[in-house]
Structure 1
């Protein structure tokens, strides 16, 4: 959940995307790709090597950073549930952003409109149980400070999401759940930095001094299970859903 809920294994997702594009009947270089939730543009160059790429993100600040870092790429501000495209892309790619979208019917409807018939949806998102230990630790810390935790991420079960894709007009070509430990950047401060990004709305309810104590309690709650003292890093307990699905021809 850095960028989105599923960021650490993104490199592997790009490798999967390359395989999908290589199997397409399109003429090399003529593939059109849309990245949903492109953030600062981490994957834009890799996607641009495969064809014509457009990146979208809901954050205007992230889009500006992506444009500055990748001046040759088309990057736009757009909501995943109301994409301004229709039957334009051979591939929609998303690493993490789906986990930030409560309305999964809306996002799948939107990307289906953006895809050509037979086009591929290549996605990685958090699955049920993703960062469970982190969420438990944060909930424990909140309770100690008279707060309640409510998960804000969309973390589906494999079978339920496979069924939803079918209902929304996609045929699933491949789907797998991956479970792993992922190091958080930032050393000793890595866990609180992660929290300040992904629990930002909750933390904003506390005064700075109270917020600091809450974060200290959060670290203490997670330390036994997630702090790797030998490597000097926090290890997020990741469980991600990765799939390729194709839009049915109507």
Structure 2
């Protein structure tokens, strides 16, 4: 069992679906395997999981993404389902999830739902944000909010390997590996890439401010991040990822 191992993965592309393909080395995708792609988005990785003959179901809580997934991959099965309310009992050989867990703070319930959905001895394969994920931007944004008398409260679940290992054990899993690694990731959009990212992923936090203040905050975050994240052509984000493989005990 590997635990709390630090690795570095070179940057290849800014597409999370492409990154997710490297996670598939831990998945048996042979014919007859039943796989749940939890948080499938528009289905790019669901299609990869199914290409060798495995029986794959993609689920997401976004109706819009499920519509797009069905349009792009009409031969596959997709369903709009909340990850915290899985209607399955011992049905899957593998639950696969890429870049999803950090959006779900109630990880204990999530793991309980996943365990129930897995067959005895079934496997969980997941990757998501680790503890120091996007630390530069988070710190810059928190400082900009503090200057305006507001506390930035972290809403993403980004644990250390030890913390997640313990949560897996408590949920009834036997971890095979829990690894963290750096993944420097370029943002699309050139000079506007950082602002677009903040507007997208911190939209709720920005929404409490008026339009003029939002622009001030974006400018301050960009100024603070530029010395560390700007490479002359684009912003390269300091993503740090956690990858786990565990079996239902």
Fold match (TM-score > 0.5): yes
Distance change >3 Å, CA 243–CA 13, structure 1 → 2? farther
Indicate whether 1:42 and 2:49 are aligned: no
Equivalent-residue separation in structure 1 for 2:107 and 2:147 (angstroms): 33
Equivalent-residue separation in structure 1 for 2:19 and 2:141 (angstroms): 29
Please tell me whether the aligned partners of residues 141 and 221 of structure 1 are also in contact (alpha carbons under 8 angstroms): no
- Cα deviation, residue 10, structure 1: 5.2
Equivalent-residue separation in structure 2 for 1:222 and 1:20 (angstroms): 37
Partner residue, 1:233:
234
Partner residue, 2:11:
none
Q: Deviations over 1:57-115 (max 9, x none)?
A: 11111211212211122111111111111111111011111111110111000111111
TM-score by length of 2: 0.88
Partner residue, 1:29:
31
Indicate whether 1:118 and 2:121 are aligned: yes
- Cα deviation, residue 44, structure 1: 1.7
Any residues of structure 2 matched to 1:69-88 within 5 Å, and which? 69-88=72-91
Indicate whether 1:148 and 2:151 are aligned: yes
Q: Deviations over 1:38-60 (max 9, x none)?
A: 11223121011141111111111
Q: How many residues are aligned here?
A: 235
Please tell me whether the aligned partners of residues 145 and 214 of structure 1 are also in contact (alpha carbons under 8 angstroms): no
Partner residue, 1:25:
none
- Cα deviation, residue 20, structure 1: 3.3
Equivalent-residue separation in structure 2 for 1:207 and 1:13 (angstroms): 37
Partner residue, 1:205:
208
Please tell me whether the aligned partners of residues 40 and 46 of structure 2 are also in contact (alpha carbons under 8 angstroms): yes
Please tell me whether the aligned partners of residues 206 and 214 of structure 2 are also in contact (alpha carbons under 8 angstroms): yes
Partner residue, 1:171:
174
Q: Deviations over 1:132-191 (max 9, x none)?
A: 111011112223344321111101111121111111111111221112311112211111
Equivalent-residue separation in structure 2 for 1:48 and 1:245 (angstroms): 21
Equivalent-residue separation in structure 2 for 1:37 and 1:95 (angstroms): 7
Q: Deviations over 1:173-227 (max 9, x none)?
A: 1221112311112211111111112101011122223222221121112111111
Equivalent-residue separation in structure 1 for 2:71 and 2:147 (angstroms): 43
Q: Which has the higher contact order (CA 8 A, sep 6+)?
A: 2
- Cα deviation, residue 240, structure 1: 1.0
Equivalent-residue separation in structure 1 for 2:202 and 2:19 (angstroms): 26
Equivalent-residue separation in structure 1 for 2:239 and 2:16 (angstroms): 10
Distance change >3 Å, CA 65–CA 145, structure 1 → 2? farther
TM-score by length of 1: 0.88
